[in-house]
């Protein structure tokens, strides 16, 4: 498992565009989003599989979402929005 490369990020562009619409996040590098100066969301790849690691706003652990499917992408966006609602 490693950070998503340029080709994977291009495949995920529609999802990443959705993430960019969240004003709480700052994209400091392609596919790396920060909230309150901490890494909050990053995209990873493992072979052909694509993942997103999402942190709780004040936590240390990441939850991993498989974002190669529409279902996984919707789950990620829902979790992302719910984390800002709760904090």
The pLDDT value given to residue 2: 86
Angle between helices 70-86 and 13-20 (to 10 degrees): 10
The pLDDT value given to residue 83: 82
Q: In this structure, are residues 68 and 50 in contact, taking their beta carbons and an 8 Å threshold?
A: yes
* CB neighbours of residue 40 within 10 Å: 25
- Residue, of 63 and 84, whose pLDDT is higher: 63
Q: Tell me the pLDDT of the chain averaged across its residues.
A: 91
Radius of gyration of the chain (CA): 12
**Whether the predicted pLDDT of 86 surpasses 70:** no
Confidence of residue 60 (pLDDT cuts 50, 70, 90): confident
Annotated domain spans of the chain = 2-68
- Residue, of 49 and 84, whose pLDDT is higher: 49
Tokens 């969301």 sit on residue:
41
**Whether the predicted pLDDT of 56 surpasses 60:** yes
């Amino acid at each position: 498992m490693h950070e998503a490369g340029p080709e994977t990020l291009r495949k995920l562009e529609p999802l990443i565009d959705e993430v960019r619409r969240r004003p709480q996040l700052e994209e400091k590098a392609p596919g790396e989003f920060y909230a309150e100066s901490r890494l909050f969301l990053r995209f990873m790849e493992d072979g052909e599989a694509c993942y997103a690691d999402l942190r709780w706003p004040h936590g240390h652990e990441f939850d991993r979402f498989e974002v190669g499917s529409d279902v996984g992408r919707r789950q990620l966006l829902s979790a992302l929005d719910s984390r800002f609602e709760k904090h």
